[in-house]
């Protein structure tokens, strides 16, 4: 069952995958066994930390995983530190994790990395995290600023085609132009 809950770490098996439904279907004892196996496997792998394992530990509200997650905070890169800080906060409500996430995201320079990591700031649902997200509203990369708006609840996910950016172009126009530029078309 573990192999179904944590499929191979490649695009084909992981793109858009959530396995919460598989965990939710397990009886109590099997769920505890899966939780134990997830904790054993929440380690630093060559490319960082497996976010699906962390996500499932949060879904389980695994108090037992908090010490393992805390022990990783000083050993991982900033992009993983943000995810781990959010996980600890989600499980244990430790407010000190908010500042760790904020300090870490400030070190991220790549807009493509920011696109994903801003979602964790939004998940905190805390005024300090929201204040940091607001700093990205005017980011030079349109998708970063768009995602900051989404995670602040100012913009639905591609749902509001009439929304506008600072230069008065619509969301759909901005996104189309961004991808045209990206694809050199």
132: number of Cβ within 10 Å: 21
> How far apart (Å, rounded) are the C-alpha atoms in residues 8 and 159?
32
Q: What is the pLDDT of residue 160?
A: 46
> What's the pLDDT score for residue 88?
98
What local confidence, expressed as pLDDT, does residue 90 receive? 97
**pLDDT tens column, 93-149:** 999 999 999 999 999 999 999 988 999 999 999 999 999 999 999 999 999 999 999
């Amino acid at each position: 069952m573990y192999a179904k809950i944590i499929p191979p770490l490649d695009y084909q098996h992981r793109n858009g995958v959530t396995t919460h439904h598989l965990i939710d279907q397990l009886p109590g004892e099997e769920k505890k066994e899966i939780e134990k196996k997830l904790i054993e496997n929440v380690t630093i792998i060559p490319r960082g930390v497996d976010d699906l394992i962390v996500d499932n530990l949060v879904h389980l509200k695994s108090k037992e995983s908090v010490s393992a997650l805390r022990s990783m905070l000083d050993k991982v890169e900033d992009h993983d530190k943000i995810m781990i800080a959010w996980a600890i906060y989600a499980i244990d409500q430790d407010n000190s994790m908010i500042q760790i996430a904020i300090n870490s995201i400030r070190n991220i320079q790549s807009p493509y990395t920011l696109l994903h990591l801003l979602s964790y700031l939004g998940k905190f649902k805390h005024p300090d995290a929201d204040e940091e997200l607001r700093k990205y509203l005017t980011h030079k990369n349109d998708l970063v600023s768009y995602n900051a708006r989404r995670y602040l609840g100012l913009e639905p996910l591609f749902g509001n085609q009439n929304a506008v950016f600072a230069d008065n172009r619509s969301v759909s126009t901005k996104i189309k132009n961004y991808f045209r530029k990206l694809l050199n078309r």
